[in-house]
Amino acid sequence: MLFRSSHYLHDYVAHSQTFEDQILSLISNGVFNKFPDLKFVMIESGVTWLPGFIWRAIKTWRGVRAEVPWVDRSPAEIVRSNIRLTVQPFDAPPGDREAVERIVEQIDSDRMLLFASDYPHWQFEGDAILPPGLSDGLIGRIRVDNPLETYPR
């Protein structure tokens, strides 16, 4: 049976589960083993769900490696080298600089985040696209370096 969301609230809040499922499917089916240089960009996925997902993926993979022997390195390594997320929405508590810093620290990669404005959607945040708590160096990576590395010319 196929379940579809009936309301925008359900659709928008449940996005992270869909993105987690897609990443895990790509990893467990060996897509990044076959295409090691592939960069997969998740747009409008949010960001704050990623640390918990990485932790659960590592924990479970350690116990079931025999089921997916072609996954020959930690899911965290695969995610950090092959997955990119846009920072709109960042979905952190507003104005909580420390929470943003912790999330970025837990992701443990300054190369995964890409700029996106989300214009013209209803939740477009105008000038407040990037959350507080990002260093100037990380903002530069998000706006320039990471997109150029993700989409080389």
Question: In the prediction, which pLDDT does 153 show?
Answer: 80
Question: In the prediction, which pLDDT does 124 show?
Answer: 62
Position with higher pLDDT, 69 vs 152: 69
Question: In the prediction, which pLDDT does 16 show?
Answer: 80
E-strand stretches of 59-141 = 83-86, 113-114
Contact 30, 71 (CB under 8 A): yes
pLDDT tens digits for range 45-59: 888 899 999 999 999
pTM: 0.85
Question: In the prediction, which pLDDT does 2 show?
Answer: 56
Question: Residue 40 is encoded by which pair of tokens?
Answer: 């997969």
pLDDT tens digits for range 75-91: 999 999 999 999 887 77
pLDDT tens digits for range 13-37: 777 888 999 999 999 999 999 999 9
Is the peptide bond between 120 and the residue preceding it cis, with omega within 30 degrees of 0? yes
Instruction: Please tell me the distance from the alpha carbon of residue 80 to that of residue 108, in angstroms, as a whole number.
Output: 8
- Residue 44 in this model has a pLDDT that exceeds 80: yes
Q: Distance from CA of residue 107 to its chain's centroid?
A: 9
Which burial class, exposed, middle or buried, applies to 42 when counting CB atoms under 10 A from its CB (0-12, 13-18, 19+)?
buried
Contact 41, 22 (CB under 8 A): no
